Amino acid sequence: MQVLTFLLKRFGWMIVTVWIVFTVSFFLMRQIPGGPFNGERVLSEAVRARLEARYNLDAPISEQYFTHLWNTVQLDFGPSFKMQDFTVNEVLAQGFPVSAALGILGMVFAISIGMTSGIVSAVRRNSAYDYSFMLLATLGIAIPNFVLAALLIVVFVFNLQMFPAAGWGDISQIILPAFCLGAPFAGYIARLTRTGMLEVLGNDYIRTAYAKGLSPRTVVLKHGLRGALLPVVSYLGPAIAGILTGSLVLERIFVIPGMGSHFIEAAIQRDYTLAMGALLTYTVLLFVMNTLVDLAYSIIDPRVQLE
Amino acid sequence: MLSSDKPILQVQDLQVEFHTDSGVVQAVNRVSFDLYPGETLGIVGESGSGKSVTNLTMMGLTPQPPGKVVGGSVMYDGQELLSLNQKQWQQVRGKKIAMIFQDPMTALNPFLTVEEQLVEVTILHMGLNRTEASQHAVDLLRRVGIPGAEKRIRDYPHQFSGGMRQRVMIAMAISCQPDILIADEPTTALDVTIQAQILELMKSMQEEFGTAIIFITHDLGVVANICDRVMVMYAGRKVELSTTMNIFRQPRHPYTVGLLNSAPRWDQGEDDLQAIDGQPPDLLDLPPGCAFHPRCPFVEDDCLQEIPELVSLDREMPHQHACLRDITTVKEDV
């Protein structure tokens, strides 16, 4: 019941947020100089007028706004200006699963590598493991992912020839980009897990757990991990946003037909409808992820009340 | 009371050091005592007197590093505890020797239900299955006086009051019917009325199971209420050990006298409360000779030269104390 009201409230806020994002970006985009039909080839007045009429660009701006808003409410983002013969919905339906797969795998890398090394570092504090993991974590955070991508391509594609350099469709093609995408987040998560775990392991209830005769493994994983997870879970919200922007760059480098390239090109080419569609998809995605994070938080810590 | 049985726990010359950045601290210095089945031994002393470290060592829980057990022996039931490995310790902790901690607000895991924290002990040590362990846990909660135990067991610690949490801790500690229960200031964090209830509960549990209790406290009222014998510690050393009756009637160490004088009594006005002069000793830089001499009203020159040995007086009850003076003759002047 509590969860249901929480979700309803969140949904309401999401609608409001999406509407604000829609409005701001709608007007901002039309304020930027240039339009979808400004190109190297100068169009004659007649052709331009016909194009603008076809895409409803000759109507007053308020009318355009409300038409576009109404279509968006019906989940119809309209035709793409640049990729003719495709609707924005089709473009998104094709690109989104690709980006999602990349992002999810990147996140899986980040969480599994980050948490494991964080726990080991905390439990074996000041050991060689600790120092090397934390050094790697700092490197992971410090090295931009396009540099890491270039390094990995040199090593794994050209020297070891383990993976193909680019493209999409095969499992082997997703590993390198997903790793590059996840690396900085793995670094952050490792540091957060280590700090969280060290703090938790100093708690009285950990001593109680040892005094019960539980094995160190049970103490750390059953009694310690939950508390140590909390800072990591709070970080997942921003991390997901970071994964989204990170994948814009990596999709370029590894020639992955995801949403990232559409997003950038749509903005550059003033493909109003496509840019808007991509933006709103990201907004909803972020909102959903943050809601999931809050839910997870309340599941992990029974003292947290959902509001 | 004191039985003539063999002691269930024998601590001999226990020495624990802490290696800190500023030097080595002798946290526990050649402490010896016996614990008999079914008795309650009080350990009294200021913060830093080594009472908690002594007891953590008996559970193998001294933080190492910086702590280090340098010497001595802790014999439990014919077994040398100090030479146990990790696996063997796990068989002792919670099963043979259990512990109750000072602050029930922090000693229970806030992320797990009370049920989960209770059943994991009995599943581990008594080989119960989940259903049996749950049933056992409900019984335990009922026994320690938690109303609506069947329902409350699914609650988390933050849904209980401080007194109730300490009851849960007690239920957890006695769940495997340990031979020894170490209670580290279990009532200090509680209201006075709740304190009395918890003490009553511990007494009745002791009667029911015959558990020997080591009761660490600095509250002499609690000592008088629950303990059969008392060991007084100062700066890591045992300075006096006797029956509660003897300690209260005829204390033989000036520090014990000071403790008694600084505790409120019903038959004395507030004005008669006397604090012990001076500060608790700096463990990194102990005074030469008797560590208590800078604060002692009976101090004479030899107190600065000599660390007093324990003297055993065997009257009707064994009484040990570590003081060069015989203060019983001059006590009236104080």
To the nearest whole Å, the CA of A3 is away from the closest chain B CA by 18
- CA dist A256 and A176 (Å) reads 12
- CA dist A304 and A296 (Å) reads 10
Nearest CA in chain B to A301: B111
**Which span out of A9-23, A169-183, A268-282, B211-225 was modeled with the highest average pLDDT?**
A9-23
Nearest CA in chain A to B175: A212
Enumerate the residues of chain B whose CB falls inside 8 A of the CB of residue A223.
Answer: 109, 111-112
pLDDT at res. A238: 81
pLDDT above 80 (res A109): yes
> Which of A204, A214, A303 is opposite residue B103, by nearest beta carbon?
A204
Task: Name the more confident of A199 and B280.
Answer: A199
Mutate to test the interface with B, among A124, A127, A212, A305 (most CBs of B within 10 A): A212
Enumerate the residues of chain A whose CB falls inside 8 A of the CB of residue B94.
Answer: 211-214
Cβ of B112 within 8 Å of Cβ of A223? The answer is yes
- CA dist A236 and B293 (Å) reads 59
State the average pLDDT over residues A48-75. Answer: 84
Structure tokens at A50: 């016909």
pLDDT at res. A50: 82
Cβ of B94 within 8 Å of Cβ of A203? The answer is no
Cβ of B106 within 8 Å of Cβ of A209? The answer is no
Q: How crowded is residue B194: how many other Cβ atoms within 10 Å of its Cβ?
A: 17
| B109: contact with A, CB 8 A cutoff | yes
pLDDT at res. B1: 45
pLDDT above 60 (res A273): yes
User: Position B146: which residue type?
Assistant: I
Interface of B with A in 250-289 (CB under 8 A): none
| B156: contact with A, CB 8 A cutoff | yes
pLDDT in tens, chain B (334 residues): 444 578 889 998 998 988 888 888 888 888 888 899 889 999 998 887 888 888 888 888 887 778 888 888 899 888 888 888 888 889 889 889 999 988 888 899 999 999 999 999 999 898 889 999 999 999 889 888 888 889 999 999 999 988 889 889 988 988 888 899 999 888 887 788 888 888 888 888 888 888 999 999 888 888 888 899 999 998 888 888 888 888 888 888 888 888 888 777 666 666 667 777 777 888 888 888 888 878 888 878 888 887 887 778 766 567 888 888 777 765 444 4
Closest by Cα among B212, B228, B226 to B58: B212
**Residue A111, CB half-sphere, CA atoms under 13 Å: how many?**
17
Enumerate the residues of chain B whose CB falls inside 8 A of the CB of residue A207.
Answer: 61, 101, 107
- Which neighbouring-strand residues pair with B100? B183
To the nearest whole Å, the CA of B66 is away from the closest chain A CA by 14
How many residues are there in chain B?
A: 334
- CA dist A136 and A116 (Å) reads 13
Cβ of A213 within 8 Å of Cβ of B94? The answer is yes
Q: What is the 3-state secondary structure (H, E, C) of chain B?
A: CCCCCCCCEEEEEEEEEEEECCEEEEEEEEEEEEECCCCEEEEECCCCCCHHHHHHHHCCCCCCCCEEEEEEEEEECCEEHHHCCHHHHHHHECCCEEEECCCHHHHCCCCCCHHHHHHHHHHHHHCCCHHHHHHHHHHHHHHCCCCCHHHHCCCCHHHCCHHHHHHHHHHHHHCCCCCEEEEECCCCCCCHHHHHHHHHHHHHHHHHHCCEEEEEECCHHHHHHHCCEEEEEECCEEEEEEEHHHHHHCCCCHHHHHHHHCCCCCCCCHHHCCCCCCCCCCCCCCCCCCCCHHHCCCCCHHHHHCCCCCEEEECCCEEEECCCCCCCCCHHHC
pLDDT at res. A7: 92
Enumerate the residues of chain A whose CB falls inside 8 A of the CB of residue B91.
Answer: 213
Residue A180 near residue A148, CB atoms below 8 Å: yes
Q: What is the DSSP string of A215-258?
A: -HHHIIIIIIHHHHHHHHHHHHHHHHHHHHHHHHHHHHHTT--S
Enumerate the residues of chain B whose CB falls inside 8 A of the CB of residue A212.
Answer: 93-94, 98, 120-121, 124, 172
Residues 6 or more apart from A102 whose CB is under 8 A from it?
A174, A177, A178, A181, A247, A250, A251, A256, A258
Q: Which residue has the tokens 């983002």?
A: A77
Enumerate the residues of chain B whose CB falls inside 8 A of the CB of residue A213.
Answer: 89-95, 121, 124-125
Residues 6 or more apart from A88 whose CB is under 8 A from it?
A77, A78, A79, A80, A273, A274, A276, A277
pLDDT at res. B278: 77
- CA dist A255 and A173 (Å) reads 10
Closest by Cα among B311, B214, B299 to B255: B299
Cβ of B90 within 8 Å of Cβ of A214? The answer is yes
- Which neighbouring-strand residues pair with B241? B231, B320
Q: What is the 3-state secondary structure (H, E, C) of A57-76?
A: CCCCHHHHHHHHHHHHHCCC
CB pairs under 8 A between A and B: 75
To the nearest whole Å, the CA of B87 is away from the closest chain A CA by 8
Structure tokens at A10: 């969140």
State the average pLDDT over residues A182-207. Answer: 92
> In angstroms, how far is the first alpha carbon of chain A from the final one?
12
Residue B177 near residue B210, CB atoms below 8 Å: no
> In angstroms, how far is the first alpha carbon of chain B from the final one?
32
Regarding an ipTM greater than 0.95, the answer is no
- CA dist B195 and B188 (Å) reads 8
Enumerate the residues of chain A whose CB falls inside 8 A of the CB of residue B120.
Answer: 212, 214, 218, 222
Residue B180 near residue B211, CB atoms below 8 Å: yes
pLDDT at res. B24: 85
Residues 6 or more apart from A234 whose CB is under 8 A from it?
A293, A297
Residue A237 near residue A289, CB atoms below 8 Å: yes
> Which of B59, B86, B101 is opposite residue A204, by nearest beta carbon?
B101
The answer to whether the Cα torsion of B64, B66, B71, B72 is positive or negative is: negative
Q: How crowded is residue A1: how many other Cβ atoms within 10 Å of its Cβ?
A: 5
Cβ of B107 within 8 Å of Cβ of A207? The answer is yes
> Which of B90, B94, B107 is opposite residue A204, by nearest beta carbon?
B107
**Residue B25, CB half-sphere, CA atoms under 13 Å: how many?**
19
Strand pairing report for B40-44 and B229-234:
parallel
- CA dist B136 and A244 (Å) reads 51
Enumerate the residues of chain B whose CB falls inside 8 A of the CB of residue A211.
Answer: 59, 61, 93-94, 98-99, 101
Cβ of A211 within 8 Å of Cβ of B99? The answer is yes
Mutate to test the interface with B, among A208, A233, A303, A305 (most CBs of B within 10 A): A208
C-alpha separations of B260 from A38, A212, B232, B247, B300 in Å: 95, 35, 11, 9, 22
Strands of the B67-76 sheet, one edge to the other = B23-35, B9-20, B67-76, B79-80
Residues 6 or more apart from A209 whose CB is under 8 A from it?
A218, A219, A222, A223, B109
Nearest CA in chain B to A303: B158
Enumerate the residues of chain A whose CB falls inside 8 A of the CB of residue B111.
Answer: 223, 226-227, 300-302
